[in-house]
Amino acid sequence: MKVLAFVGSPRGNGNTARMVDAVCKGAAAVGHDIETINVTRLNIHDCTACCACKVGKVEYCALNDDMQKLYPKIIEADCIVVGTPVYMGQMSGQLKNFFDRWYTFMDASYKIRYIPGKKYITVTASGAPAEIFQSLTDYLNHWLGTFFKMALIKNIVAGGLGPPDAIDDQPEILAMAEQTGRALR
Ligand SMILES: Cc1cc2nc3c(=O)[nH]c(=O)nc-3n(C[C@H](O)[C@H](O)[C@H](O)COP(=O)(O)O)c2cc1C
């Protein structure tokens, strides 16, 4: 299985990245192919609403930036891991820009293409206790699950996090993340 993981935190080795890495470590241990991409390191323009993707003018998107190399990777992946810190009660802006560019996964007739049926795992990290931002998990499940028709494997939610390595004090979450990757079939 190809597991493609996206980290939406500018902290390359922060809490989100550590949890995503734990999922990937577990998945790699049982033989899955892993690739992790930090979207904050890439040139991902915000959607300009040109709607070229809705009139069949382009394969994916008219904007010529790093999304052009991400689209084929997303389409080839069997499982997508999405990790984000909670910023102002939501996913990070960088990750939201990335998701706006998924508009192309609705074709010209507004039918979802390429991604239905893929598995997905969400990872969220917040300063406040984990249960405070259930709305972010609900949002991700709505768009990835209900709207894009992907199959939820697990929502990994951690709270009480400040410094980039704070998650190391919650080894049970890291163990659960690793087990989630290890259980991927
Ligand atoms: C711009 C910004 C906004 C934040 N907003 C929130 C928030 O609304 N609620 C919260 O609990 N934590 C908030 N935090 C704290 C982060 O969610 C928390 O430190 C998280 O562990 C960061 O993950 P990271 O280490 O992967 O970057 C915010 C942090 C930053 C930098």
Domain residue spans of the chain: 2-8+22-116+150-182
125 lines ligand 1 (CB under 6 A): yes
Taking the CA of residue 18 as reference, the ligand 1 atom at the shortest distance is 26
SS3 (DSSP) at 151 = strand
Report the nearest-CA residue for atom 5 of ligand 1.
Answer: 87
Q: What is the pLDDT of residue 173?
A: 98
Taking the CA of residue 166 as reference, the ligand 1 atom at the shortest distance is 21
Q: What is the pLDDT of residue 51?
A: 94
Q: What is the pLDDT of residue 61?
A: 97
Report the nearest-CA residue for atom 20 of ligand 1.
Answer: 126
Q: What is the DSSP string of 24-35?
A: HHHHHHTT-EEE
Q: What is the pLDDT of residue 97?
A: 98
Going by C-alpha positions, the residue among 147, 87, 81, 155 that lies closest to residue 116 is 147
Going by C-alpha positions, the residue among 69, 78, 143 that lies closest to residue 105 is 143
Q: What is the pLDDT along the chain (185 residues), one digit of tens a residue?
A: 999 999 999 999 999 999 999 999 999 999 999 999 999 999 999 999 999 999 988 999 999 999 999 999 999 999 999 999 999 999 999 999 999 999 999 988 889 999 999 999 999 999 999 999 999 999 999 999 999 999 999 999 999 999 999 999 999 999 999 999 999 99
Residue whose token pair is 């033989």: 31
Taking the CA of residue 83 as reference, the ligand 1 atom at the shortest distance is 26
Q: What is the pLDDT of residue 57?
A: 85
Best residue for ligand 1 mutational test, from 41, 86, 90, 95 (most atoms within 8 Å of Cβ)? 86
Q: What is the DSSP string of 109-142?
A: TS-B-S-TT-EEEEEEE-SS-GGGGHHHHHHHII
For domain 2-8+22-116+150-182, give its CATH number from 3.90.1150.10, 1.10.1760.20, 3.40.50.360, 3.30.1220.10.
3.40.50.360
